[in-house]
Structure 1
Amino acid sequence: MGYALNIAKLLTDTAARVPGHVAVDFNGQTMTYGEFDQKTDALAWGLKQKGLEPGQVCVLMMPNSLDWVICYYALAKLGAVVLPVNFLYRTQELKHIFSDSGARAFIGHGQYLEYAGAVLAGMPQIDIRCATGPAAQGYTPLNEVPREQGPYPVHPAQDDDTWAIIYTSGTTGLAKGAMLTHRNLSSNATTIADMRQTDPKVTSLGMLPLFHIYGQTSSLNASVYLGITLRLWEHFEPDETYAAIEEMDDTILIAVPTIFNRLAEMAVKRPLKRSSLHYCISGGASLPVEVIKRFEAGYSTTIYEGYGLTECSPVCVENPYGKATKPGSIGLPIPGFQAKVVGEMDQEVPQGQVGELIVKGPGVMKGYLNQPQATADTLRGGWLHTGDLARKDADDYIYIVDRKKEMIIRGGYNVYPREIEEVLYQHPAVLEAAVVGQAHPDLGEEVAAMVVLREGAAATPDDIRAFVKERVAPYKYPRIVRITDELPKTHTGKVLKRSIRLD
Structure 2
Amino acid sequence: MSMTLPGLLRKRAATDPGQVAMTVHGSGSLTFGEWERRSSGTARALRGRGIGRGDRVGLVFGNGDWLDYAVAFLGVIRAGAVAVPLSDRLAGVDVDAMLAHCGATAVLRPGELPYAEGGEDLEPVAPGDPAQILYTSGTTGRPKGVAATHANLAYGCGGRRRPFTHSRHLAHAFPVGTNAGQWMLVNAVDAHPEVVTLPRFTPGRFAALIEHYRAGTVFVVPAMAIEMLAAGVQARHDLSSVLLLGSAAAPLPARVAGDLSAAFPNATITNYYTSTEAAPAQTVMIYDPERPSSVGRPLSGGAVRIAAADGGALPPGTTGEVWMRSPAATRAYYGDEAATGEVFRGGWVRMGDLGYLDGDGYLYLVDRESDVIKSGAYKVSTIHVEEAVHRHPGVVEAAAFGVPHPTLGKAVAVAVVGSVPHEELRIFLKDLLAPHELPLRLITLDALPRNHGGKVDKRSLREVAS
Comparing 89-98 with 99-108, which one deviates more in the overlay? 89-98
Work out the CA distance in 2 between the residues paired with 1:287 and 1:24: 27
Work out the CA distance in 2 between the residues paired with 1:327 and 1:149: 56
Is contact 1:318-1:331 (8 Å) kept? yes
Q: How is 1:85-96 mapped onto 2 (pairs within 5 angstroms)?
A: 85-96=86-97
Q: How is 1:116-195 mapped onto 2 (pairs within 5 angstroms)?
A: 132=111, 141-142=112-113, 145-149=114-118, 152-159=121-128, 161-187=129-155
Q: State the shift of 1:312 in Å.
A: 1.8
Structure 1 residue aligned with 2:278: 312
Q: How is 1:15-414 mapped onto 2 (pairs within 5 angstroms)?
A: 15-28=13-26, 29-64=28-63, 65=65, 66-109=67-110, 132=111, 141-142=112-113, 145-149=114-118, 152-159=121-128, 161-187=129-155, 197-199=164-166, 201-217=167-183, 219-267=184-232, 270-300=235-265, 301-313=267-279, 315-319=281-285, 326-363=291-328, 365-380=330-345, 382-414=347-379
| 2:435 maps to 1:474 | yes
Q: Which amino acid aligns with 2:91?
A: R
Equivalent position SS for 1:312:
coil
Equivalent position SS for 1:445:
strand
1:256-296 residue CA offsets vs partner (Å, 9 max, x unmatched) = 00111112223367254452112011111121111111122
1:130-173 residue CA offsets vs partner (Å, 9 max, x unmatched) = xx1xxxxxxxx43xx342147733532242x2110011222214
* Structure 2 unpaired stretches of 5+: none
Work out the CA distance in 2 between the residues paired with 1:349 and 1:71: 45
* Aligned pair partner of 1:433 in 392, 398, 403: 398
Q: State the shift of 1:466 in Å.
A: 2.3
Is contact 1:255-1:282 (8 Å) kept? yes
Q: State the shift of 1:390 in Å.
A: 0.9
Q: How many residues align?
A: 460
CA 1:71–1:432 in 2, change beyond 3 Å: closer, same or farther? same
Equivalent position SS for 1:465:
helix
Is contact 1:338-1:361 (8 Å) kept? yes
Work out the CA distance in 1 between the residues paired with 2:157 and 2:380: 25
Q: State the shift of 1:16 in Å.
A: 2.5
1:64-94 residue CA offsets vs partner (Å, 9 max, x unmatched) = 3211101111112111100001212223212
Work out the CA distance in 2 between the residues paired with 1:13 and 1:498: 54
Work out the CA distance in 1 between the residues paired with 2:125 and 2:329: 21
Q: State the shift of 1:194 in Å.
A: 6.8
Identity, % of aligned pairs? Answer: 30
Q: Which amino acid aligns with 1:26?
A: V
Q: State the shift of 1:190 in Å.
A: 6.6
Q: Which amino acid aligns with 2:423?
A: D
Work out the CA distance in 1 between the residues paired with 2:200 and 2:153: 23
Is contact 2:162-2:191 (8 Å) kept? no
Q: How is 1:3-14 mapped onto 2 (pairs within 5 angstroms)?
A: 4-14=2-12
Q: State the shift of 1:314 in Å.
A: 5.0
Q: State the shift of 1:382 in Å.
A: 4.3
Is contact 1:304-1:325 (8 Å) kept? no
Q: Which amino acid aligns with 1:265?
A: A
Aligned-residue CA RMSD (Å): 2.4
Is contact 1:436-1:449 (8 Å) kept? yes
Is contact 2:217-2:245 (8 Å) kept? yes
* Aligned pair partner of 1:463 in 424, 433, 436: 424
* Structure 1 unpaired stretches of 5+: 110-131, 133-140
Q: State the shift of 1:462 in Å.
A: 2.0
Work out the CA distance in 1 between the residues paired with 2:162 and 2:256: 24
Work out the CA distance in 2 between the residues paired with 1:234 and 1:93: 23
Work out the CA distance in 2 between the residues paired with 1:14 and 1:476: 39
Is contact 1:42-1:150 (8 Å) kept? no
Q: State the shift of 1:318 in Å.
A: 1.2
Work out the CA distance in 2 between the residues paired with 1:71 and 1:90: 21
Q: State the shift of 1:307 in Å.
A: 0.6
